[in-house]
Structure 1
Amino acid sequence: MITTRTAKQCGQADYGWLKARYTFSFGHYFDPDLLGYASLRVLNQEVLAPGASLQPRTFPKVDILNLVLEGEAEYRDSEGNHIQARAGEAVLVAAQSGISYSEHNISKDSSLTRMQLWLDACPERENPLFQKTALFNQPQQLLASPDGRDGSLQLRQQVWLHHVEMEKGERLTVPLHGPRAYLQSIHGTVHAKTETEGKEALTCGDGAFIRDETNITLIADSPLRALLVDLPV
């Protein structure tokens, strides 16, 4: 089953220095029916103005994945650790209790645009504080996984996160590990097809809940960039 959540249905924020779209309840945006999906707690697309910062704050025990779409960011924690990432790179932060984290748009002239996901972390797992990887120009890249296989970022949860980049007319079938997944279009239009349902169309910024399917087939109607989050638990 596929249930579409369009970009227009998402929460919105515009503070001038920060513009955001929230898939799930976040900050001032609250919907009791959308507090997350399985272990996926947050999926935001945010734009920080030149030189803007998100001030230090603490987090629950989550893995925070930042996918930089435009610009360059720096991430710091209260222990003095820091890492930078630019467009075409992703950073994974293993949030720890009692430690605060901040984010900065390094550029004084250009905006920073990025996707941010929070995934519940298993309490007994400990991973490196910061991890970084580059995105490759290929139809499917395993971006993050529980065991870090194929050079992916290592999560503290049974989740597989795929970065998809396809040309118009390309078709891709991805096997799923369990009963739930979430598909997010970043740019472009795609038809998502499962074994039990016909095609569902998603365009730029749209997402879709996927339930009780063994695989999903993506058919790009235009040049496409998307994320597929495989959430078996």
Structure 2
Amino acid sequence: MITTRTAKQCGQADFGWLQARYTFSFGHYFDPKLLGFASLRVLNQEVLAPGASFQARTYPKVDILNLILEGEAEYRDSDGNHVQAKAGEALLIATQPGVSYSEHNLSKEQSLTRMQLWLDACPQRENPLQQKINVADATLQLLGLSGGRG
């Protein structure tokens, strides 16, 4: 069964430099009925103020997908890797134990708006640490599941 939730029904945060909406329990927002869906743990919409940054922090073993809707971001890790992503791009980061990650809004004038998803990492597969694609010009495709119903 699919449950529809409006933006007003989602968890919310306003820290001045960050405005966020949380689909599932995250940070200070907790709902025991909303702890994720299958391997999807986090689905957040976040707006970072111009020039704002998330300080370096570690993550559980997850793959983080950032869909940049507006603005441009830079991602850095404590191993010295860095990558930039702009509106219309999707960036997948395979987090590693013991590595910290930071994120910065590169613009001093424009907010950075993104959707962020955390997915359980597949233990049988090693992904590249960072993968970026342009999704702004992508054609839409319907995918079918092999062995699925309907």
User: Which residue of the other structure, out of 177, 192, 197, is the alignment partner of 2:145?
Assistant: 177
Structure 2 gaps, min length 5 = none
Structure 1 gaps, min length 5 = 142-173, 179-212, 216-233
Q: Secondary structure at the match of 1:8?
A: helix
User: How far is 1:139 from its partner?
Assistant: 5.1
Q: Distance in 2 between matches of 1:33 and 1:72?
A: 34
Q: Secondary structure at the match of 1:93?
A: strand
Q: Distance in 1 between matches of 2:117 and 2:39?
A: 10
TM-score by length of 2: 0.92
Q: Distance in 2 between matches of 1:53 and 1:175?
A: 36
Whether the 8 Å CA contact 1:176–1:214 is kept in 2: the answer is no
User: How far is 1:6 from its partner?
Assistant: 1.8
How many residue pairs match? The answer is 149
Moved over 2 A (4+): 136-139, 174-178
Q: Distance in 2 between matches of 1:124 and 1:117?
A: 20
Identity %: 75
User: How far is 1:28 from its partner?
Assistant: 0.5
Could you say what the CA RMSD is over the residues aligned between the two structures, in angstroms? 1.7
Whether the 8 Å CA contact 2:89–2:133 is kept in 1: the answer is yes
1:63 aligns with 2:63: yes
Quick one: higher RCO (CA 8 Å, sep 6+), 1 or 2? Answer: 2
User: How far is 1:124 from its partner?
Assistant: 3.0
User: How far is 1:140 from its partner?
Assistant: 1.1
**Residue by residue, what CA displacement relative to the aligned partner does 1:134-167 show, whole Å, maximum 9, x if unpaired?**
01435515xxxxxxxxxxxxxxxxxxxxxxxxxx
1:90 aligns with 2:90: yes
Higher share of residues assigned strand: 1
